[in-house]
């Protein structure tokens, strides 16, 4: 199989785009897809100070690498979640990556914020760790970006992630989530930093191939608590449809984004949390509520 | 996500056929032959090192 662009030997076939590409042209293709997402969804402007949330996995490291190559002013951010074994390995992968690029790394530890890691917090409240983890990460990313004057927070969500989330929201008819799912969550208040997902037009397989070919050393392990996540069968279902009809995932997601404007916007009215001042639809934000509940468990744990 | 080494089941086999025989959707797989990424029409021969990377965890 030859490269569609230059006749060199192809290293990958991408059926959704009816393309076969050599290493160099594939790496350019990936950068073009990200540039297209940035332009189409008006994600970023050149010159913005951008904070990229790095987990140490392939998607976030690829997002950082690509934005840096496209000339954006990027700094790295990592949250140590306090998950035994996994968090240490994640931090190692992130440190090695930023060192290689001479990039700035900002590090927060959940333990410094809550007095304990995510797993211990979840245990005390008898909740699954994943139900706290997403909220804690979003809160800390936003707060850090606000305090340090960043104008955007970038995450590495790819097309398979977004497609699986969309399918899940549709299967449960969560119209509130549907109206908020987008590659750009704009800043509607000075304390709410915009969130962008520049990899949404790249499949998980394309991101993995990018990391192999660039190369980028990422942490291949998944969080031990993510096993059995509902997104896994949803990704598999979409990839089965993709096999039978290449381009399905892109049409599903892009079609949704086009139709999204006509969905009723169910955003509750945002106000400032009475404790920390960051935005919430309640009197107290979920993060401050979590801290209060954990404080209340202190006596019982002793 | 970690790579899985597979035995080449016959003297020569195309990547496409190998994945089909193993019941792996090519949409979630990348195949390395002797450490190099190869497209689905590539032929793998006895003696080649063959590694399959999956994007989705199964089971």
Domain that holds residue A250: 23-216+243-267
The rounded distance, in Å, linking the Cα atoms of A34 and A200 is 8
A31 by Cβ neighbours in 10 Å (0-12 / 13-18 / 19+) ranks as middle
Q: Is the pTM of this model over 0.90?
A: yes
Task: Tell me the domains of chain B and their CATH numbers.
Answer: 4-54 (3.10.20.30)
- A296 assigned to some structural domain: no
- A249 assigned to some structural domain: yes
pLDDT digits (tens, 9 = 90+) for A69-101: 999 999 999 999 999 999 999 999 999 999 999
Identify the pLDDT of residue A275.
96
- Sequence-distant (6+) residues with CB within 8 A of A123 are none
- A34 assigned to some structural domain: yes
Confidence band, pLDDT 50/70/90 cuts, at residue A226: confident
The rounded distance, in Å, linking the Cα atoms of A285 and A281 is 8
The residue-averaged pLDDT of A163-179 equals 92
Identify the CATH number of the domain in which residue A259 sits: 3.40.50.620
- A199 assigned to some structural domain: yes
Cα-to-chain-centroid distance, residue B21: 10
Higher pLDDT, B1 or A48: A48
The b/e string for B11-28 (b: 16+ C-beta within 10 A; e otherwise) is eebebebbbeeeebbbbb
Distance from CA of B44 to the nearest CA of A (A): 14
Confidence band, pLDDT 50/70/90 cuts, at residue B1: very low
Q: Which of B30, B36, B58 sits opposite A205 (nearest CB)?
A: B30
Fill in the DSSP letter of residue A19.
Answer: E
The residue-averaged pLDDT of A219-238 equals 86
Contacts of A58 in chain B (CB under 8 A): 1
Based on its alpha-carbon atoms, the radius of gyration of chain A, rounded to whole angstroms, reads 20
- A140 assigned to some structural domain: yes
Distance from CA of B40 to the nearest CA of A (A): 7
Confidence band, pLDDT 50/70/90 cuts, at residue A298: confident
- A278 assigned to some structural domain: no
Identify the pLDDT of residue B44.
93
pLDDT digits (tens, 9 = 90+) for B6-59: 766 667 999 999 999 999 999 999 999 999 999 999 999 988 999 999 987 543
- A69 assigned to some structural domain: yes
Confidence band, pLDDT 50/70/90 cuts, at residue A229: confident
pLDDT digits (tens, 9 = 90+) for A189-198: 999 999 999 9
Distance from CA of B33 to the nearest CA of A (A): 11
With a cut of 0.90, is the ipTM above it?
Answer: yes
Torsions phi, psi for B25 (to 5 deg): -70, 120
Confidence band, pLDDT 50/70/90 cuts, at residue A179: confident
The number of folded domains in chain A is 1
Please answer yes or no on whether A239 and B29 come within 8 Å at the CB atom. no
- A230 assigned to some structural domain: no
Cα–Cα distances (Å) from A302 to A266, A291, A294, A298, B58, in that order, read: 43, 17, 13, 7, 41
Please answer yes or no on whether B37 and A239 come within 8 Å at the CB atom. no
Confidence band, pLDDT 50/70/90 cuts, at residue A177: confident
């Amino acid at each position: 199989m030859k490269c569609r662009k230059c006749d060199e030997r192809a290293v990958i076939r991408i059926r959704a785009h009816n393309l076969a590409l050599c290493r160099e042209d594939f790496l350019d293709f990936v950068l073009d897809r990200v540039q297209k997402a940035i332009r189409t969804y008006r994600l970023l402007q050149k010159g913005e100070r951008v904070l990229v949330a790095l987990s140490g996995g392939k998607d976030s490291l690829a997002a950082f690498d690509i934005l840096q190559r496209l000339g954006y002013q990027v700094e790295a951010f990592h949250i140590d979640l306090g998950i035994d074994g996994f968090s240490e390995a994640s931090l190692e992968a992130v440190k090695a990556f930023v060192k290689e690029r001479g990039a700035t790394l900002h590090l927060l530890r959940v333990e410094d914020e809550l007095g304990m890691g995510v797993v211990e917090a979840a245990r005390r409240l008898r909740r699954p760790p994943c139900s706290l983890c997403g909220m804690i990460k979003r809160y800390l990313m936003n707060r850090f970006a606000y305090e340090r004057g960043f104008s955007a927070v970038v995450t590495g969500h790819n097309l398979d992630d977004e497609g699986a989330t969309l399918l899940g929201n549709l299967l449960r008819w969560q119209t509130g989530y549907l109206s908020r799912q987008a590659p750009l969550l704009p800043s509607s208040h000075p304390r709410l930093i915009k969130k962008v997902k520049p990899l949404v037009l790249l499949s998980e397989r394309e991101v993995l191939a990018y990391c192999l070919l660039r190369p980028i050393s990422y942490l291949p392990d998944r969080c031990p608590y993510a096993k059995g996540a509902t997104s896994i069968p949803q990704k598999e279902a979409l990839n089965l449809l993709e096999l039978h009809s290449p381009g399905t995932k892109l049409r599903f997601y892009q079609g949704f984004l086009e139709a999204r404007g006509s969905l009723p916007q169910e955003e509750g009215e945002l106000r400032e949390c009475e404790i920390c001042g960051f935005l919430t639809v309640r009197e107290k934000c979920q993060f401050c509520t979590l801290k209060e509940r954990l404080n209340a468990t202190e006596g019982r744990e002793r | 996500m970690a790579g899985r080494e597979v035995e080449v089941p016959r003297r020569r086999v195309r990547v496409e056929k190998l994945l089909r025989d193993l019941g792996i959707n090519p949409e979630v797989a990348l195949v390395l032959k002797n450490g190099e990424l190869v497209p689905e029409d590539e032929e793998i021969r006895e003696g080649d090192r063959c590694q399959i990377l999956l994007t989705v965890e199964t089971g």
